[in-house]
Amino acid sequence: MSKLPDAPVSYPVSIDDPQFDPGLKSGDGGGTFDGMEARVSRLEDKMDRVEGRLTSIEVTLARIEEKLDSKPGHWAVLALNATLLGLALAAIGFGARVL
């Protein structure tokens, strides 16, 4: 690869470029940037809050599901309406004979 002229690095550049220096430390696992620990700490705190919210959502969904399971289904409501309609028609049909 040919050497680029000495000029300010404009990104994006190739990592094979000798001028490429993103400020990373060596590969000893010692971290990358000095301010990274504070950023990671803030992200971990936010993730704790996200996990709390997700737990709250799961609990709410479980409650909704429980309530929906205790409600009568579509066919039960239809059968109830049909029964009431039948009783009303029977009362109309036999009511005149009884009185």
Euclidean distance between CA atoms 92 and 89, whole angstroms? 5
Domain boundaries, the chain: 36-98
Check residue 23 and give its pLDDT.
Answer: 59
| Spans in the chain with pLDDT lower than 70 | 1-34, 96, 98-99
Sign of CA dihedral 32, 33, 38, 39: negative
Check residue 70 and give its pLDDT.
Answer: 82
Token pair for 40? 């990671």
Euclidean distance between CA atoms 18 and 20, whole angstroms? 5
User: Residue 64 to residues 22, 37, 71: CA-CA distances in angstroms?
Assistant: 51, 40, 11
